[in-house]
């Protein structure tokens, strides 16, 4: 599978690319971008220990919060296209600043990033556009929350309004737990991100991730993906940033995706336009496929992690052209991403204790890896003073493989994982269980 590269080419110079971010997501973006021969150099700010293993990549130390210094250095490096990976700089308006300085940027401005940075804003946005989502209450005080929780006849989910690194959502089993969650958020568990909470009707169904590359007016969809959010096998344990993923998600048939496009994706883009938001970047639709149809659980203003690592190996060298077109407002909307003849899967190796407290600084050993259609993207790694590869985060490595079917994909990923070790390494053995024919729940 590949993007149909014959259909389009670069609109401008694309020699020097900058990617902002330090995770597996950013490394996988760099890996897909370097495939294009027009790209001479990819800089990552700050990247991680795995970044420079990727062809054409160089890490640079610049404080992105020092705007004058940042702009001066990017001018010096003659950066042709900037891709902003994480939500925090987007929510802080970094894309706006860089655009004002004349750079081509893939990533929404502060206004568009609100889709992710304020859950209540996103819910009201969906209500305005009649986009299917669960019922909700925006709540400004604990007193108000108590009243709603106590009188509710349906199970509720509690969310901090602002950014909380994926930890601001509680799925309580009882009213008591629900109250405690609201209390902890109003008591400052997530700082200012918890000044407002959103109470939501709890809905049920499998979750899928859909990504639309958007140029402000037009969009195209990337292959779909399914993430595994829970820490433990059989989808138990606390929510994490994501323990693994596979792409495409067979649950989303062409017909289903068409319906989602009409009911959710197009109305989202139209509503952004109506609100005068010029969204140039990726919109991540976190969807729940309920019995009464697909509903939006959340929007993110960035690529998902680990969905991005999973999808990027399915892109060919024209991927960077898509990013460029989005940044320039020049998408036609008819760029074709061909149906894949390969499938992709990713397993994340984490530090013991993640998503709660964990220790870092453990040496990582990587043995004999089957590198055919297999990538290891570092998520949280650094080098010791002696150049040894060390763990440096909760999610440490993303092991990604492609093959003709998901059994082969995950056989290869797990075979490679046997060659990887660090103190306290943990990963789920059942990633892709929904799509592995040779996987038994007795495993
Ligand atoms: P979010 O950060 O909003 O994506 O929420 C994290 C996770 O919490 C989602 O992936 C769902 O598994 C779960 N979740 C969020 N909202 C709801 C809801 N209204 N009903 C049921 N589960 C939810
Ligand atoms: N994998 C879920 C996320 O990136 O938020």
CA 58 vs. chain centroid, Å, equals 23
Q: Which atom of ligand 1 is nearest to the CA of 297?
A: 16
pLDDT band at residue 440 under the 50/70/90 scheme: confident
From 287, 297, 300, the mutation candidate for ligand 2 (largest count of ligand atoms within 8 A of CB) is 300
- Domain boundary at 182, 200, 218, which? 200
Q: Specify if 99 maps to a domain.
A: yes
Instruction: Assign 1 a pLDDT band (cuts: 50, 70, 90).
Output: very low
H-only helix segments in 40-153:
67-76, 87-91, 94-100, 110-117, 119-128, 142-151
Q: What is the mean pLDDT of residues 78-106?
A: 97
Q: Is 116 in the pocket of ligand 2 (CB under 6 A)?
A: no
20 and 103 both lie in a single domain: yes
Structure tokens at 104: 């081509």
Does residue 2 have a pLDDT over 50? no
| Residue 223 Cβ contacting ligand 2 at under 6 Å | no
151 shares a domain with 72? no
Separation between Cα atoms, residue 174 and residue 358, nearest integer Å: 29
Average pLDDT, rounded, for the chain: 94
**174 lies in some domain:** yes
Q: Which atom of ligand 2 is nearest to the CA of 302?
A: 4
pLDDT given for residue 340 in this prediction: 58
Rounded mean pLDDT of 77-106?
97
Residues 146 and 188 in one domain: yes
Q: Give the pLDDT confidence of 124-143 residue by residue, as tens digits.
A: 999 999 999 999 999 999 99
279-320: pLDDT as tens digits: 999 999 999 999 999 999 999 999 999 999 999 999 988 899
C-alpha 409/C-alpha 401 separation (Å) is 5
Residue 443 is predicted with a pLDDT of 55
As to burial, measured by CB atoms within 10 angstroms (0-12 exposed, 13-18 middle, 19+ buried), residue 386 is: exposed
Which-ligand-closest: CA of 297? 1
Range of the domain at 196: 135-200
Among the atoms of ligand 1, which is closest to the Cα of residue 204?
Answer: 21
Q: Cβ(83)–Cβ(14) under 8 Å?
A: no
* CATH number of 21's domain: 3.40.50.20
Mean pLDDT of all residues in 83-93: 97
Structural domain ending residue among the three candidates 200, 222, 250: 200
Is 320 inside any structural domain?
no
Q: Is residue 370 part of a domain?
A: no
Atom of ligand 1 nearest to the CA of 168: 2
How far is the centre of ligand 2, averaged over its atoms, from the C-alpha of 306 (Å)? 7
The whole-number pLDDT of residue 10 equals 76
- Our answer on whether the CB atom of 248 is closer than 6 Å to any ligand 2 atom is no
Ligand 1: residue of 121, 204, 288 to mutate (most ligand atoms within 8 A of CB) is 288
Ligand nearest to the CA of 134: 1
- Say yes or no: 24 and 103 in one domain: yes
Using a 6 Å cutoff on CB, does residue 295 contact ligand 1? no
- Residue 266 in domain: no
**pLDDT for position 238:** 87
What percent of the chain is predicted at pLDDT more than 70?
Answer: 97
Q: Is residue 389 part of a domain?
A: no
Q: What is the pLDDT of residues 179-224, one digit of tens each?
A: 999 999 999 999 999 999 999 999 999 999 999 999 999 999 999 9
Is 242's C-beta closer than 6 angstroms to any atom of ligand 2? yes
Summarised one tens digit per residue, pLDDT across range 159-171 is 999 999 888 899 9
Q: Tell me, in angstroms, the distance from the centre of ligand 2 to residue 241's CA.
A: 5
Question: Which of 88, 107, 126 corresponds to the end of one domain?
Answer: 107
Q: 307 CB under 6 A from ligand 2? A: yes
Report the CATH number at residue 176. Answer: 3.30.1490.20
Q: What residue's CA is closest to ligand 2, atom 4? A: 304
Q: What is the pLDDT of residue 341?
A: 86
Question: Which of ligand 1's atoms lies nearest the C-alpha of 201?
Answer: 19
Is ligand 1 within 6 A of the CB of residue 116? Answer: no
- The residue contributing the CA closest to ligand 2 atom 3 is 304
Q: 297, 16 in Cβ contact below 8 A?
A: no
pLDDT in tens, 14-68: 999 999 999 999 999 999 999 999 999 999 999 999 999 999 999 999 999 999 9
Task: Specify the 3-state DSSP secondary structure of 399.
Answer: strand
What are 254-269's pLDDT values in tens digits?
999 999 999 999 999 9
- Nearest ligand atom owner, CA of 286: 1
Same-domain pairing of 75 and 142: no
Give residue-wise pLDDT tens across range 268-287: 999 999 999 999 999 999 99
Structure tokens at 208: 């899928």
Ligand 1 pocket, residue 241 CB under 6 Å: no
Evaluate: CB of 290 within 6 angstroms of ligand 1.
Answer: no
Is 298 touching ligand 1 by the criterion CB < 6 Å? yes
Domain tally, the chain = 2
pLDDT, tens digit (0-9, with 9 covering 90-100), for 111-120? 999 999 999 9
Q: How far is the CA of 388 from the centre of ligand 1 (A)?
A: 38
165 with 84, same domain?
no
Q: Which of 21, 87, 302, 305 to mutate to test the pocket of ligand 2 (most atoms within 8 A of CB)?
A: 305
Q: For ligand 1, say whether the CB of 133 is within 6 Å of any of its atoms.
A: no
- 79 in a structural domain: yes
In a domain, 153, yes or no: yes
Q: Ligand 1, atom 14: nearest CA belongs to which residue?
A: 297
Residues 28 and 88 in one domain: yes
Other beta carbons less than 10 A from residue 103's beta carbon: 18
What pLDDT is attached to residue 165?
83
Phi-psi region of 205 (alpha: psi -120 to 50; beta: other; left: phi over 0): left
Alpha helices in 173-306 (DSSP H): 175-186, 254-260, 266-274
Proximal ligand: closest to the CA of 163: 1
């Amino acid at each position: 599978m590949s993007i149909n590269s014959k259909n389009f080419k670069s609109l401008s110079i694309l020699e020097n690319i900058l990617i902002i971010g330090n995770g597996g997501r950013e490394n996988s973006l760099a890996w897909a971008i370097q495939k294009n021969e027009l790209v001479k150099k990819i800089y990552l700010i700050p990247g991680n220990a795995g970044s420079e293993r990727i062809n054409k990549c160089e890490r640079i130390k610049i404080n992105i919060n020092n705007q004058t210094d940042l702009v001066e250095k990017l001018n010096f490096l003659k950066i042709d296209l900037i891709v902003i990976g994480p939500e925090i700089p987007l929510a802080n308006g970094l894309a706006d600043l860089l655009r004002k300085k004349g750079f081509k940027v893939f990533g929404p401005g502060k206004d568009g990033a609100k889709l992710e940075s304020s859950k209540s804003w996103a819910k009201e946005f969906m209500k305005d556009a009649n986009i299917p989502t669960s019922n909700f209450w925006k709540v400004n005080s604990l007193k108000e929350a108590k009243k709603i929780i106590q009188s509710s006849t349906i199970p509720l989910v509690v969310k901090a309004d602002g950014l909380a690194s994926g930890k601001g959502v509680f799925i309580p089993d009882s009213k008591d737990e629900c109250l405690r969650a609201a209390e902890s958020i109003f008591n400052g568990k997530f700082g200012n991100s918890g000044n407002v909470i959103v109470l939501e009707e709890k809905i049920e169904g499998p979750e899928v991730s859909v990504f639309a590359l958007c140029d402000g007016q037009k969009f195209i969809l990337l292959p779909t993906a399914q993430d595994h959010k829970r820490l433990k096998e059989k989808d138990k344990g606390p929510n994490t940033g994501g323990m693994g993923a596979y792409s495409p998600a067979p649950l989303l048939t062409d017909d289903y995706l068409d319906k989602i496009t009409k009911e959710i994706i197009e109305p989202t883009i139209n509503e952004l336009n109506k609100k005068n938001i010029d969204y140039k970047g990726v919109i991540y639709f976190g969807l729940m496929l309920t019995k009464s149809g697909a509903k939006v659980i959340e929007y993110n203003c960035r690529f998902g992690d680990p969905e991005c690592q999973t999808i990027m190996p399915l892109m060919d060298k024209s991927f960077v052209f898509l990013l460029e077109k989005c940044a320039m407002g020049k998408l036609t909307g008819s760029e074709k991403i061909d149906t894949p003849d390969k499938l992709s899967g990713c397993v994340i190796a984490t530090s013991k204790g993640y998503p709660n407290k964990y220790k870092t600084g453990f040496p990582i050993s990587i043995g004999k890896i089957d590198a055919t259609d297999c990538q290891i993207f570092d998520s949280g790694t650094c080098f010791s003073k002696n150049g040894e590869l060390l763990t440096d985060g909760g999610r440490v490595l993303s092991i990604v493989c492609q093959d003709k079917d998901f059994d082969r994909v995950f056989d290869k990923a797990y075979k490679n994982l046997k060659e990887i070790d660090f103190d306290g390494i943990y990963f789920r053995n059942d990633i892709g269980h929904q799509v592995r024919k040779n996987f038994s729940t007795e495993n």
